[in-house]
Amino acid sequence: MSYDYDDQNVFAKILRGEIPNDTVLETAHSLAFNDISPQAPVHVLVIPKGPYVTYDHFSAEASDAEILDYTRAVQAVIEKLGVAPGGAGQGYRLLVNSGEAGVQEVPHLHTHVLGGRVLGRMLPG
């Protein structure tokens, strides 16, 4: 499998500092920032700093250090925003849209961390 990364996507521009972002946290290999069009009271995007298009691309080709860092960055966002089950936020949803059928708009891997309200069923219909 080969993966084509478009370095003109909006998250690549954020990583290069060409456009601003509302940073929640940053680690060695990951960046988390608030979604520009939030769908819930908590809506954070967590991205790897490396040029990965999708979750399957990242999982196949990222280093162990990047994968560990990214997994822990998602956890750190959940903790920082207080949405873990049992806490005040009472739970969250992780969402990774991938490719055409997944309706991925930005071709740089991002995990949506959604919470702050009861989110409803996973998919409409």
Active site residues: 110
User: Which is it for the CA torsion 33, 37, 41, 47, positive or negative?
Assistant: negative
The CB-of-32 to ligand AMP minimum distance in angstroms stands at: 11
Length of the chain: 125
* SS3 of 36-75: CCCCCCEEEEEEECCCCCCHHHHHHHCCHHHHHHHHHHHH
Beta strand 30-34 pairing with 23-26: antiparallel
Q: Are 113 and 42 in contact (CB under 8 A)?
A: yes
The CB-of-27 to ligand AMP minimum distance in angstroms stands at: 18
The CB-of-86 to ligand AMP minimum distance in angstroms stands at: 27
- Closest to ligand AMP by CB, 36 vs 65, is 36
- Closest to ligand AMP by CB, 62 vs 109, is 109
Binding site for ligand AMP (CB under 6 A): 10, 19, 21, 33, 35-37, 45, 97, 103-106
- Closest to ligand AMP by CB, 26 vs 85, is 26
